[in-house]
Amino acid sequence: MRIPGYVLPLEFDGARVREFLLVPFVGACIHAPAPPPNQMVLVRTMESFEVSGLYEPVWVEGVLSTQGESRKLSLVDGRAPVDAGYSLGATEVTPYRQ
């Protein structure tokens, strides 16, 4: 499966990310309300990759599962649970190019 979207880091070290939410638009989950679970994918990578910025879309390739998951997301005013309707074991994350 290959799917585009924006990276919202969950597990990261500086600019390197290993776990993130793939969201449909810039700023999703930062402002309320969050997109519905069927528009969010929890992505895990075997190796971390460098994010060029939250405003740069990416392609994510891997195995998509309909297993939903919930994560606590740190927001400006605290932490909130965010539900993802899908999970994806990523084999590759690349900058979005049509």
Tokens at residue 58, please?
């990416």
Q: Which domains does the chain have, with CATH numbers?
A: 2-95 (2.40.50.870)
Question: In the predicted model, what is the mean pLDDT of residues 13-31?
Answer: 84
pLDDT digits (tens, 9 = 90+) for 54-95: 789 999 999 999 998 998 876 666 777 889 999 999 999 999
pLDDT digits (tens, 9 = 90+) for 25-54: 887 766 667 789 999 999 999 999 998 877
Give the span between the Cα atoms of 81 and 31, in whole angstroms.
13
C-alpha distance from residue 27 to each of 52, 53, 57 (Å): 15, 12, 12
Say whether pLDDT at 5 is over 80.
yes
The 10 Å Cβ neighbour count of residue 57 is 15
Encoded amino acid at 21, one letter: L
Location of structure tokens 């390739």 = 61
pTM summary value: 0.88
pLDDT at site 84? 95
